[in-house]
A and B are shown apart, each in its own frame.
Chain A
Amino acid sequence: MSARRSASARHLYASLRYNGFGIVAAFLFLAPLAWSVLVSFKPSVEARQPPLPPWPVDGFSVQSYENLAKYGSGIWTYAGNSLTVALATVVASVTVSLLAGYGFSRFHFPFKNMLFVLIISTVMIPFQSILTPLFLILTKLGLQNTLTGIVLVYVTLQLPFSIFMMRNAFDAVPKEIEDAARVDGASIFAVLYRIMLPLVLPGVVTVAIFAFLASWNEFLAALILLTDQNKYTLPVLMAAVRSGQFGTIDWGAVQSGVTLMMAPCLVLFLGLQHYYIRGLTAGAVK
């Protein structure tokens, strides 16, 4: 009896220790995020003070968001730019990698392996080292300082990961399924769209999430390639605000911008965590 009680006491102690550590560590990781969101809802005057306590004392206010909205040509221009770039990158990445993944998985053509290795090995080369020529090429193509130009760059940077994911996804689908459909006389695109797409959908979701997060958050290429203020994406705009280009730094407004930038990432991750982690570990396991 007493042995059992001491065992359960030990169990309770171990559980307390485990969760004690967990709660403290979770607090340290979540607190900065929460602090930023909370200060963005303070009235402007209060947001200028150190955030102690972190929550608004004089009642919630959207003043910081109103101030944020006034920067440059209006926050909706920049949020619109960011959203356009991110969604276009998602659509283009999915389309290009879906086709290429299918091609690499199902066809035999000359130099197939060499081309696959060529595309995948571009991850070894830091894109930071080719930004100057990219700038000149986009200028030549008339795409410098356009959202289209930066989307094309982002899609290319995502390609190694996207194509790797999609080829693996197609490899996992048995050949017999599409052979049966082909025998029934369906065209190759009909097979890809109606039969294969639903089967590789998990891979598509993973590719889409990574494309969205990468393009929504990217800073350096956007800073260099988008020179006209009207074309800025959110990170470029907010960095300009932080560096004082729009006058004295309004930290409340900056944090409302940070909240605006973080929100889609957090929502997307929490909603589709499974697909995100799958993409992350695909490289680690292989």
Chain B
Amino acid sequence: MINSQKIHDGAPIRRKSVRNRRKQFAGLLFIAPALILVATFFVIPLGMAFWMSLHNWPLLGRPRFIGIDNYVRLTQDAQFWSSMRFTVYYTVVVTIAIFAVAFPLALFADKAHRFTKFYRTAFFLPVVVGFGSASLLWAWLLDVDSGLFSPAAEYLGLMAKRINLLADFDTTFWSIIIMVVWKTAGFNMIILLTGLQGISTEVQEAARIDGASSWQRFRRITLPLMRRTIALALILSVSGSMLAFDQFYIIADGGPQNRTVTAVYWIFSQSFGSFRLGYGAALSMVLLVILVFISVVQLRLLRTPEGM
């Protein structure tokens, strides 16, 4: 101890600056593994994706540079645009549905009751189950012969005979909406709950004493003060839904009549079904631009001060 003290006191300034430089170097070493991973498995692939999108790139054989031909072609790709339209439609519907369920759940879970913690955990459990597992579970529930919904409706006399829910676009679509709401409402509930708990009880109490009804308090105090949290939950839900794949692949296989093929699904089938890697990369670029645009909007929304 005494020894090291002495070195400290006696260290000339030049030695200190050498040590600082060495310390700088050490810092870079600490982050090196992370940098190598991000460079190899993110930055380079990103550059490659753009490079590939300018090529006719088969899985085997020589890639051929074709400039923006892939991009020209995708403007005429009817299936791509119908997947895009379907993905946006799905995103809008599922986001509204998730909020319609998650907001009441958050208000419910914000109260301090004896069993509140149990309810919160129950609502949240489907979140930790993977989308793959959840899709396989609901694929069974939706099955016409061995599943739950159709046979149960028949037993209860709601329907004259069993109908195959996955044979028709609307029933497939709404079944998947319900499944996704079941799976993700708990997640959005927790996000909204953090916003609710950030509102001081004094403000609410003061408004109550002033005679504001509970609807007025929700509308005039809770909602404006939760703007940032709502924006966050909204953006997470929108960007997640724009990238939907698992549930449509596993439950519906893109059907009926390819009408539930999402954007990611179409990119997947072009790249790894038809092995048109260059064309798939061009489609990916379009999706990427849309998602980055959403993220930029998110950052701007989140930066605005609370309540403005």
Contacts and interface: CB of A to CB of B under 8 A. Distances in A.
**Chain A, interface size: which category?**
35 or more
A97 B272 CA distance: 32
Interface in B134-181: 136-141, 143, 145-148, 151-152, 155
B59 to A, nearest CB: 9
A77 to B, nearest CB: 18
Given A125-B42, A130-B45, A152-B41, A29 B122 contact: yes
A128 B249 CA distance: 14
**B24, B26, B45, B148 pick with most chain A CB within 10 angstroms:** B45
- Closest 8 A/B residue pairs (Cβ): A107-B27, A217-B130, A103-B30, A50-B151, A235-B132, A129-B284, A133-B48, A133-B45
Interface stretch (B76-84, B92-100, B214-222, B285-293): B285-293
Nearest to A257: B136
Interface in A169-199: 183-185, 188
Contacts of B301: none
The listed residue with most B CB atoms (<10 A of its CB), out of A29, A108, A243, is A29
Contact of B52 (A18, A19, A132): A132
Given A26-B123, A224-B268, A280-B190, A49 B132 contact: no
Interface stretch (A55-63, A67-75, A111-119): A111-119
B121 A270 contact: yes
A30 B25 CA distance: 52
Given A128-B284, A238-B136, A243-B253, A269 B128 contact: yes
A83 interface: no
Nearest to A39: B140
A277 B132 contact: no
Given A122-B42, A156-B40, A284-B229, 19 more contacts: A19-B115, A25-B108, A25-B119, A33-B129, A52-B155, A103-B27, A109-B25, A119-B34, A129-B49, A129-B288, A131-B271, A133-B44, A133-B46, A152-B41, A184-B1, A265-B128, A266-B125, A269-B128, A270-B121
A96 interface: yes
Nearest to A95: B33
Interface of A: 15, 18-19, 21-22, 25-26, 28-30, 32-33, 35-36, 39, 47-52, 95-97, 99-100, 102-104, 106-110, 112, 115, 118-119, 122-126, 128-134, 136-137, 152-153, 155-156, 159, 163, 183-185, 188, 213, 216-220, 224, 235, 238-239, 242-243, 251, 254-255, 257-258, 261-262, 265-266, 268-270, 273, 276-277, 280-281, 283-285
B169 to A, nearest CB: 20
B284 A29 contact: no
A220 B245 contact: yes
A242 B139 contact: yes
A15 B276 CA distance: 61
A100 B31 contact: yes
B44 A137 contact: yes
Contacts of A123: 295
A136 B24 contact: no
B24 A130 contact: no
Contact of B194 (A118, A235, A285): A285
B28 interface: yes
Contacts of A235: 130, 132-133
A112 B25 CA distance: 12
A219 B243 CA distance: 13
B271 to A, nearest CB: 5
Contacts of A52: 148, 151-152, 155
B90 interface: no
B86 interface: no
Nearest to A103: B30
A132 B125 contact: no
B284 A130 contact: yes
A30 B4 CA distance: 61
A177 to B, nearest CB: 16
A185 B4 contact: yes
B190 A281 contact: yes
A159 B130 contact: no
B238 interface: no
A99 B292 contact: no
Given A32-B137, A107-B24, A132-B284, A152 B31 contact: no
B191 A284 contact: yes
A134 B8 CA distance: 50
A239 B136 contact: yes
Contacts of A110: 24
Contacts of A33: 125-126, 129, 137
Contact of A224 (B126, B232, B272): B272
A100 B121 CA distance: 33
25 contacts: A18-B113, A29-B122, A30-B125, A33-B137, A52-B152, A103-B31, A123-B295, A133-B281, A134-B41, A155-B37, A159-B38, A188-B26, A213-B128, A220-B245, A220-B246, A235-B130, A235-B133, A251-B143, A251-B147, A261-B132, A266-B128, A269-B128, A276-B128, A284-B229, A285-B194
